[in-house]
Structure 1
Amino acid sequence: MNGNASAAIQTWSTDAVPAPQRLDYWIGAVCEGFLEMDVTSSFTGSFNATLESAPLGAIGVNRVRGTAQDVYRRRRAIAHSRSNYYYLLCKTDSPWVAVQDDRSARMLPGDVVMVDSRRCYEFHFLQRADTLSLELPTAWVEAWLPDAADQVARRIDGQSGWGCVLSGFVQQLSPEVALQPPMPAALLTDYLGGLLSLAAGTHGTATPSESGRAELRRRVLDATRERHAEPGLTAASVARGLGISERSLHRALSEGATTFAAALTGFRMQVARRMLGDARFDRLSIAEIGFRVGLTDASHFVRQCRRHLGATPGTLRRQR
């Protein structure tokens, strides 16, 4: 890494190591300069890459140049991360692919895409890895994009509309510009946030109709009912399965005067009451019935029954 001062461009280059060690060096550089990720390449014998990074106010400006490669952000890496960000990427020389949440964005030169490092993603740089990547604090992005989670791995067309304006602005950023910005960094980042909001289509979006909100609420409840037996089921997991943001899920339920936790517990207790009241399930222990409704801790299951059904599981069995 070159440059010790805070106002210097940090640089990692595979030129610093012998050819057989370059891919391993690059994986370490990516983990140090970005976050923990895995990198593979079919060009190990001729692999080369460089990462240059500099801060621009609250965001980071990163420029990558290098051989074709595949980049993976996996669950294990996410679990180890102390910090997470959104990344906004733009590549101008060749097509590539970004994947997140089972959504695949096939990118053309100049297109822009965003990913969230709190969820698994993949980048497939098919010809070259030359890319500009902006590191964006999660709170900053979510202040500009109310449904930020819905925007990941969605191709923003860099050739038309606000996407074209966003792409042009992003392409003007570089580590060198970050060190000597043409105007205060706060103004540049605000401009970026506004363009991102416009390009993502969230600015001036019409409020969904009441029928649309009711339909979304029904979908959320149906999905939660269907998956109630999954231990540790979360709102985030249900939202991902529906292709919506967690915020949208909570908003839909709140408009129906309920919460995800209340809905999930209600579905679990409905099934538990039915099983405890049916002699065909007497061969199952109380703990096994709890497990079948998604509660792996038997004592927690007993407490939930007492609170929501008015009696312990054993009492409910005897009272039928």
Structure 2
Amino acid sequence: MGQGTRVWTTETVQSTQRFDYWVGAICECFLEMEADSGVRKEFSARLESTEMAGLHLNRVTGSAQDVYRTRAAISRSNGNYYYLLCKEATPCNIVQHDRNEARLLPGDLVLIDSRQRYSLHFPGRVDTLSIQLPIGWLDAWLPNAQQMLGRRVDGNSGWGAVLAAYLRQAASAASALPAAQHREHLGGLIAAAFVTTAGESAVAEDVHLSERIEAAVGARFAEPGLSAAEVADSLGISVRTLYRALAHSKQSFAALLNRHRLAAARRMLGAPACRHLTIAEIGRRAGWLDASHFTRTWLAHTGQRPSQSRREPASNMSRAD
């Protein structure tokens, strides 16, 4: 236990008063909050808080409980902070402002903001490290902090693992480094872990979105004049977002649309059931506005006119896929 460490423990309180004592302890150490527990009769918990040059490192252990930061509690608070939480041994669920929910596994981290509602659900037991971060200080290290709220950071790989290990080491030997050095190390590690996570989240979001765009174009390619704006509108996104997602998958909207139309034309040109269709009709059914546009596009991609491809075996038309 480092210098400047305060301790709250239910061991010093009668069992009938332990939970009420605990609610007072977390409000005194952190901020105004509400709590509940399904094991009040057997409740026990311990909180250690160590000050490090304006930052407070806290370790909480104890019985299962739920903790809430409500609008009423926010209105009663004189100050606010960010809190970086690291789960040590058992899973828990964190919800920030009723919209961002993270399930933390052992080692994982999450950032929450006391200016917004949050709830912390510890169904098994509490075994959590947290560090109280001044808002201005963190915003200087992590300018997009609001976008990171409630997002799980994997504490078992990459910079997340380094940050989680640093918090555990700081909690066990807080006085090993001057407090100012702790602030510098911690700020750099938070920036590295959360910026990396934000990048990975953006990539995953773009991959998922490009799949949705692909499916939407696959369903509507036969509509003459289909535009990127129409597809974006059907997906509830902006055209800019659509283009960004497609750029991540290294393709353009025009190329994607042409690929689906060419594949449909290839199937019809090679299908015995479509032998009665004219070249112009095949182009129209595949989504081209006129036969000449279809012919030019097909020639550019296959080196043949559609009528020539129709006479070729299906295997020779694979360049149009």
* TM band (smaller chain): 0.5 to 0.7
Q: TM-score, normalised by structure 2?
A: 0.59
Q: TM-score, normalised by structure 1?
A: 0.60
Deviations 1:82-137 (A, max 9, x none): 11110011112111011102111011100011100010001001111111110110
Q: Which runs of 4+ in 1 moved over 4 A?
A: 202-205
In structure 2, distance between residues paired with 1:95 and 1:204: 22
> How far apart are 1:20 and its partner, in Å?
1.2
Unaligned runs of 5+ residues in structure 1 are 209-320
Aligned to 1:251: none
In structure 2, distance between residues paired with 1:161 and 1:17: 42
> How far apart are 1:9 and its partner, in Å?
1.6
Partner of 1:186, secondary structure, is helix
| Larger Rg, first or second structure (1 or 2) | 2
1:37 matched to 2:33: yes
In structure 2, distance between residues paired with 1:204 and 1:40: 33
In structure 1, distance between residues paired with 2:184 and 2:105: 26
Aligned to 1:170: 167
> How far apart are 1:34 and its partner, in Å?
0.7
Partner of 1:129, secondary structure, is strand
Percentage of identical aligned residues:
47
Alignment of 1:180-199 (within 5 A): 180=175, 182-199=176-193
Matched-pair contact (CA < 8 Å) for 1:41–1:68: yes
Alignment of 1:60-99 (within 5 A): 60-99=56-95
Partner of 2:116, secondary structure, is coil
> How far apart are 1:204 and its partner, in Å?
11
Aligned to 1:118: 115
Instruction: Identify which of 4, 13, 16 aligns with 1:20.
Output: 16
Matched-pair contact (CA < 8 Å) for 1:197–1:203: no
Matched-pair contact (CA < 8 Å) for 2:81–2:135: yes
Alignment of 1:1-320 (within 5 A): 7-101=3-97, 102-174=99-171, 177-178=173-174, 180=175, 182-201=176-195
> How far apart are 1:8 and its partner, in Å?
3.2
**CA separation of 1:97/1:203 partners in 2, compared to 1, >3 Å: closer, same or farther?**
closer
Partner of 1:54, secondary structure, is strand
**CA separation of 1:62/1:204 partners in 2, compared to 1, >3 Å: closer, same or farther?**
closer
Aligned to 1:233: none
Partner amino acid, structure 2, of 1:77: A
Partner of 2:11, secondary structure, is helix
**CA separation of 1:198/1:15 partners in 2, compared to 1, >3 Å: closer, same or farther?**
same
Bigger fraction of residues in helix = 2
Partner amino acid, structure 2, of 1:117: S
In structure 2, distance between residues paired with 1:30 and 1:203: 30
Deviations 1:50-92 (A, max 9, x none): 1111101120011111101000000001011111110011112
> How far apart are 1:177 and its partner, in Å?
2.7
Unaligned runs of 5+ residues in structure 2 are 203-321
Instruction: Report the aligned-residue RMSD.
Output: 2.4
Aligned to 2:235: none
In structure 1, distance between residues paired with 2:52 and 2:45: 23
In structure 1, distance between residues paired with 2:15 and 2:9: 12
> How far apart are 1:202 and its partner, in Å?
6.2
